[in-house]
């Protein structure tokens, strides 16, 4: 759906070219939700703006649905942009227009017929659940409602791609969850390809299929969310994962336990349905090992349940070895800490 | 007893102390019958004609000021560095002309503009003679106000509109102008108040209107009544303009 090839972007600052993006290569598949995570200043906003050419890349190609946008004339580019919806951190709604007029706006720009516009606005206003608010102005809405208007507006012209620029960063956790649920729903129902940039790992974890980690204008790691999450390769990725996973507290606990002579601390990772099965208890009972749980998470990555437990195994070296082997044979990943 | 020395004498005679302030002065003038005497001397049809001329000058020049100043202001905004039609040379030239016109005092601008005024409307006096200099003076001022107002439009909204595939003309007509409507109305209000004071000045060199009455009959003709009445009417006019402008702004404000 979207292919970025050898994308470079630099800005002239006092005569010198300062690179913002360096050799970005990404292939985003139709119908997937692709997350790009990075700290502020890492280049993720520039990257997402290169996809619809709000920022023109210095070098490289932006291919959407087979067309290289960088080669298009102004007019053709405007036509292509209508097929790419975009939502923003600060919503960017017209303050002078009502909810309904904001949603109708892209259709009016495209000079669609009035009857068609009215029908589409009604559909969308219902989709995002703002029927009672159709005559209100943005200033009368909450942040979450504004973003719903933003989403409806972005979908108005039936785009194939939806770009989300920190779409939930200005929202509280509950509203964030409801907006993410709406995005997931839209993705499923319309098969819309979504590119989402954020600095929050929990956003990636709850909706994305694949992700890329961007640091200093380069993609340092990418892959399916589950894979990257459970086996992060790059330091930047691990830092983002720590936002939602083990904290400094756990590291402290581990070193405390180790100082106390406990050497058998392992992290166990369960993926899929066995997350909910009593694998750990049964294994321990068979080998006669006892254990203490230091930390644990049972969660979901988009649709896949997973669990991670950090435990201290208490037993003879043989018992410990058997336990590890047995757990591995039952599909649990074991990592010594 | 003619002209301003006489007028000042009359007022200072009436007011027991100069620091007593206008209400005291007026009360004292009323007490010794001066006000009544001045009031009786006022030629009301003349005042009426003055009001009409002033309103005509104000209305026509405001119309042309908006017609010329609004596009000029939009162009200033668009060609400024970092904006949609960024064009440094054009912006520099426009900005320079606007600054020059704004730095010439209106009364001098009128005299300098005489040949141009004659060329455009065929005369340099009366209401028609006042329109070109009023428009030349007010348009650059209004254009700057428009430029500043447009800068207040959220860049993110413009970006969002670009992302929807809008053309530049659509961005101007459907985003910039509607989004800045309250600010633009406020700019028109400020400009109209300025024009009221310019029309009074234009009166000094033959344009007619309330300013002309005040200067010619009130000041040189020693009719303090006319002076006071014209000032009073101008105060009312400015209050009305400002109140109407503020009401409109309130109606359209959405923030």
Mean pLDDT of B18-25: 67
pLDDT score for A120 = 95
Give the count of alpha carbons within 13 A of A217, CB side only. 15
Pick from A52, A93, A137: CB nearest B163: A52
> Who has greater pLDDT, B228 or A34?
A34
A78 in contact with B at a CB cutoff of 8 Å? yes
Answer for the pair A207, A29: CB distance below 8 angstroms, yes or no. no
Distance from C-alpha of A164 to C-alpha of A166, rounded to nearest angstrom:
6
Answer for the pair B231, B181: CB distance below 8 angstroms, yes or no. no
Answer for the pair A306, A226: CB distance below 8 angstroms, yes or no. yes
Q: Which of A157, A156, A176, A158 has the alpha carbon at shortest distance from A166?
A: A176
Mean pLDDT of A171-179: 92
Lowest mean pLDDT among A305-319, B15-29, B135-149, B183-197: B15-29
Verify whether the Cβ–Cβ distance B178 to A96 is below 8 Å: yes
> Who has greater pLDDT, A145 or A323?
A145
Distance from CA of A332 to the nearest CA of B (A): 46
Q: Which of A269, A27, A313, A111 has the alpha carbon at shortest distance from B165?
A: A111
pLDDT score for B15 = 47
The DSSP call for residue A38 is -
Q: Please report which confidence band the pLDDT of residue B154 belongs to, taking 50, 70 and 90 as the band edges.
A: very high
pLDDT score for B2 = 46
Residue matched to tokens 């790419």: A84
Read off the pLDDT of residues B56-113 as tens digits, 9 standing for 90 and up: 999 999 999 999 999 999 999 999 998 989 999 999 999 999 999 999 999 899 889 8
Optimal mutation site among B81, B163, B176, B248, interface A, most CBs of chain A within 10 A: B163
A98 in contact with B at a CB cutoff of 8 Å? no
Q: Please report which confidence band the pLDDT of residue A183 belongs to, taking 50, 70 and 90 as the band edges.
A: very high
> Who has greater pLDDT, A241 or B71?
B71
Write down the mean pLDDT value for chain A.
90
The DSSP call for residue A222 is E
pLDDT score for B37 = 82
Read off the pLDDT of residues B157-179 as tens digits, 9 standing for 90 and up: 999 999 999 999 999 999 999 99
Q: How many CB atoms lie within 10 A of CB B155?
A: 11
Contact list in A for residue B162 (CB cut-off 8 A) is: 54, 81
Mean pLDDT of A178-202: 94
Answer for the pair B7, B221: CB distance below 8 angstroms, yes or no. no
Name A314's bridge partners: A290
> Who has greater pLDDT, B5 or A160?
A160
Whether the predicted pLDDT of B12 surpasses 60: no
Answer for the pair A7, A46: CB distance below 8 angstroms, yes or no. no
Contact list in B for residue A96 (CB cut-off 8 A) is: 178-179, 181, 252, 254
Distance from C-alpha of B162 to C-alpha of B135, rounded to nearest angstrom:
35
A8-26 as b/e: b if 16+ CB within 10 A = bbbeeeeeeeeebbeebeb
Contacts 24+ apart (CB under 8 A), B72-75: B72/B98, B72/B139, B72/B140, B72/B143, B72/B146, B73/B142, B73/B143, B73/B144, B73/B145, B73/B146, B73/B147, B73/B149, B73/B150, B74/B146, B74/B150, B74/B172, B74/B176
pLDDT score for A247 = 62
Specify the pTM.
0.81
Mean pLDDT of A79-105: 95
Answer for the pair A25, A61: CB distance below 8 angstroms, yes or no. no
The DSSP call for residue A42 is S
What is the 3-state secondary structure of chain B?
Answer: CCHHHHHHHHHHHHCCCHHHCHHHHHHHHHHCCHHHHHHHCCCHHHHHHHHHHHHHHHHHHHHHHHHHHHHHHHHHHHHCCCCCCCCHHHHHHHHHHHHHHHHCCHHHHHHHCHHHHHHHHCCCCHHHHHHHHHHHHHHHHHHHHHHHHHHCCCHHHHHHHHHCCCCHHHHHHHHHHHHCHHHHHHHHHHHHHHHHHHHHHHHCCCCCCHHHHHHHHHHHCCCHHHHHHHHHHHHHHHHHHHHHHHHHHHHHCCC
Whether the predicted pLDDT of A272 surpasses 90: no
A157 in contact with B at a CB cutoff of 8 Å? yes
Q: Which of B188, B183, B228, B193 has the alpha carbon at shortest distance from B210?
A: B228
pLDDT score for B16 = 46
pLDDT score for A222 = 94
> Who has greater pLDDT, B138 or B17?
B138
> Who has greater pLDDT, B145 or A206?
B145
The DSSP call for residue A234 is S
Residue of chain A whose alpha carbon sits nearest to that of B159: A54
Distance from CA of A10 to the nearest CA of B (A): 16
Read off the pLDDT of residues A21-69 as tens digits, 9 standing for 90 and up: 999 999 999 999 999 999 988 999 999 999 999 999 999 999 998 899 9
Q: Please report which confidence band the pLDDT of residue B124 belongs to, taking 50, 70 and 90 as the band edges.
A: confident
Mean pLDDT of A153-171: 94
B25 in contact with A at a CB cutoff of 8 Å? no
Lowest mean pLDDT among A184-188, A249-253, B72-76, B241-245: A249-253
Residue of chain B whose alpha carbon sits nearest to that of A156: B164
Answer for the pair A169, A200: CB distance below 8 angstroms, yes or no. yes
Distance from C-alpha of B59 to C-alpha of B132, rounded to nearest angstrom:
13
Q: Which of A232, A183, A189, A230 has the alpha carbon at shortest distance from A203?
A: A183
Residue of chain A whose alpha carbon sits nearest to that of B181: A96
Angle between helices A143-155 and A114-127 (to 10 degrees): 140
Lowest mean pLDDT among A120-134, A168-182, A230-244: A230-244
> Who has greater pLDDT, A48 or B25?
A48
Answer for the pair B113, B201: CB distance below 8 angstroms, yes or no. no
Pick from B159, B162, B179: CB nearest A94: B179
Write down the mean pLDDT value for chain B.
88
Mean pLDDT of A174-196: 94
């Amino acid at each position: 759906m979207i292919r970025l090839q050898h994308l470079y972007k630099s800005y002239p600052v006092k005569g010198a070219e300062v690179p913002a993006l360096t050799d970005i290569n990404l292939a985003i598949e139709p119908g997937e939700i692709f997350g790009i995570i990075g700290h502020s200043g890492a280049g993720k906003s520039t990257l997402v703006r290169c996809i619809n050419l709000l920022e023109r890349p210095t070098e490289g190609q932006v291919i959407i649905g087979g067309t290289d946008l960088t080669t298009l004339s102004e007019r053709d580019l405007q036509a292509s942009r209508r097929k790419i919806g975009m939502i923003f951190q600060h919503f960017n709604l017209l303050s002078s227009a009502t909810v309904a007029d904001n949603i109708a706006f892209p259709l009016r720009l495209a000079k669609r017929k009035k009857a068609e516009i009215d029908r589409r606005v009604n559909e969308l206003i219902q989709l995002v659940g703002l029927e009672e608010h159709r005559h209100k102005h943005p200033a009368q809405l909450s942040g979450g409602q504004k973003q719903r208007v933003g989403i409806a507006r972005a979908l108005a012209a039936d785009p194939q791609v939806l770009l989300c620029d920190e779409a939930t960063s200005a929202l509280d956790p509950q509203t964030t969850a409801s907006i993410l649920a709406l995005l997931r729903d839209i993705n499923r129902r319309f098969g819309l390809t979504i590119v989402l940039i954020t600095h929050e790992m929990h956003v990636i974890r709850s909706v994305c299929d694949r992700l890329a980690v961007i640091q200093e204008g380069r993609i340092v790691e990418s892959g399916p969310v589950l894979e990257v999450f459970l086996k992060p390769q790059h330091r930047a990725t691990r830092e983002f994962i720590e936002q939602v996973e083990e904290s400094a507290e756990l590291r402290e606990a581990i070193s405390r336990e180790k100082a106390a002579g406990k050497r058998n601390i392992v992290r166990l990772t369960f993926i899929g349905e066995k997350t909910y099965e009593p694998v750990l208890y049964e294994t321990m009972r068979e080998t006669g090992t006892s254990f203490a749980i230091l930390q644990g998470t049972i969660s979901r990555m988009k649709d896949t349940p997973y669990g991670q437990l950090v435990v201290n195994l208490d037993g003879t070296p043989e018992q410990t070895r058997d336990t590890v082997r047995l757990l591995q044979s039952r599909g649990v990943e074991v990592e010594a800490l | 007893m003619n002209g301003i020395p006489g007028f000042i004498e009359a007022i200072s005679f009436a007011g027991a102390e100069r620091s007593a302030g206008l209400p005291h002065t007026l009360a004292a003038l009323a007490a010794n019958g001066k006000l009544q005497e001045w009031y009786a001397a006022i030629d009301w049809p003349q005042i009426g004609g003055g009001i009409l001329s002033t309103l005509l000058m104000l209305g026509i020049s405001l119309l042309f000021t908006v017609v010329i100043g609004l596009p000029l202001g939009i162009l200033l905004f668009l060609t400024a560095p970092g904006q949609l039609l960024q064009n440094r040379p054009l912006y520099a030239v426009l900005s320079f002309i606007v600054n020059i016109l704004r730095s010439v005092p209106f009364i001098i601008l009128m005299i300098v503009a005489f040949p141009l005024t004659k060329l455009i409307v065929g005369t340099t006096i009366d209401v028609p003679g006042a329109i070109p200099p009023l428009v030349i003076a007010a348009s650059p001022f209004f254009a700057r106000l428009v430029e500043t107002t447009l800068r207040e439009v959220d860049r993110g909204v413009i970006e969002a509109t670009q992302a929807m595939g809008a053309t530049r003309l659509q961005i101007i007509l459907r985003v910039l102008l509607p989004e800045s409507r309250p600010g633009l109305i406020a700019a028109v209000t400020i400009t109209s108040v300025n024009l009221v004071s310019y029309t009074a000045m234009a009166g000094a060199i033959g344009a007619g209107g309330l300013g002309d009455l005040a200067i010619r009959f009130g000041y040189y003709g020693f009719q303090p009544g006319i002076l006071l009445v014209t000032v009073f009417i101008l105060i009312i006019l400015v209050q009305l303009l400002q109140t109407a402008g503020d009401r409109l702004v309130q109606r359209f404000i959405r923030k």
